[in-house]
Amino acid sequence: MKKKLIINADDLGFSKSVNFAIKEAHQNGFLSHASLMANTHYFDHAIEEVVLQCNNLKVGLHINLTCGKSLLQNSIIAKNGNLNWTFEQLLFLRKNKQVLETIEKEIEAQILKLKHNNINISHIDGNEHIHIIPSINKIVRKLAQKHNIPRIREINEAFWESIRFNFNNTPIINYIKLGLLKFLSIFNEKTNDIAFYSMLNTCMINEKNLFNYLENTKSQEIEIMLHPSLGFTEDDKIGIDKRLYSFFQSPYRQQEYKLCFNEKFKQYL
């Protein structure tokens, strides 16, 4: 049975290797969407090398409060101009009116930066899924409506179905992440019209699990989240916190890159 797939690469703009991987995966593979960070060192590189050369690539905003520079002057949520929050820190941050207003201004500044570069924003999601935090999700939905952005990523992943197809190589921490995100989603406005694959294999998606899922799921429209990269060079380290080095050095980045060219995707196009 035919299914509609959104094959999305997160982290556009994070590094040259990520940018070039997304460009190649779209031009010569099956990648259809990418989520662009507005406040990273290689944002301009992403515009010049990817966005302007991939006319059919649908580009969304990858909201980023966990690394990179604040786009605001003297932001109260930035330290020396840097945004270095973790998901957990943002979740438990005491969000008074001033903090919420600053978060809204930062997210809107990121939206406007994409729009000023003539990007018709197709969707919004968040680095480390911070857009699922209810107080932030409310802001995101308000701004999406204001700026006519049609889709916000939802972690609409059926727990038991996902276990069925992904249990064989799922770390325990991913069960916890999926459970937490689904719990937080209870408090968010949502549509549940697009399924999501896959928190249980997040950042380590493989061909066997993915296509076994696609062949058997009853979901008709599915977003597949990938984090492709061609590697990790000295240039890529510019502007990236050292805590992220291991993520970009992981062989899973190139595994997910190669997955973008899998011929099995043809049956879903």
pLDDT at 239: 85
pLDDT at 232: 93
Classify the C-alpha dihedral 39-44-47-50 as positive or negative.
Answer: negative
pLDDT at 1: 54
pLDDT digits (tens, 9 = 90+) for 160-204: 999 999 988 899 999 999 999 999 999 999 999 999 998 999 999
- Residues of the chain with pLDDT > 90, as a percent, come to 94
Residue reference for tokens 């719990």: 183
pLDDT at 36: 99
Average pLDDT, stretch 205-216?
96
Q: How many residues does the chain have?
A: 269
pLDDT at 240: 85
CA distances from 162 to 24, 169, 172, 214 (A): 29, 12, 14, 11
Q: How many domains does the chain have?
A: 1
Average pLDDT, stretch 211-224?
95
pLDDT at 2: 78
Domain of 89 in residue numbering reads as 4-268
Please tell me the distance from the alpha carbon of residue 251 to that of residue 211, in angstroms, as a whole number: 20
pLDDT digits (tens, 9 = 90+) for 4-38: 999 999 999 999 999 999 999 999 999 999 999 99
| pLDDT of 95 higher than 60 | yes
- CATH number at 94 reads 3.20.20.370
pLDDT digits (tens, 9 = 90+) for 218-257: 999 999 999 999 999 999 999 888 888 999 999 999 999 9
| pLDDT of 60 higher than 60 | yes
Please tell me the distance from the alpha carbon of residue 41 to that of residue 240, in angstroms, as a whole number: 8
Contact 256, 226 (CB under 8 A): yes
Please tell me the distance from the alpha carbon of residue 114 to that of residue 109, in angstroms, as a whole number: 9
pLDDT digits (tens, 9 = 90+) for 161-170: 999 999 888 9
Between the two ends of the chain, the Cα-to-Cα distance in Å is: 11
pLDDT at 241: 84
| pLDDT of 269 higher than 90 | no
Average pLDDT, stretch 126-137?
98
pLDDT at 227: 98
Going by pLDDT thresholds of 50, 70 and 90, the confidence category of residue 86 is very high
User: Which residues partner with 195 through β-bridges?
Assistant: 222
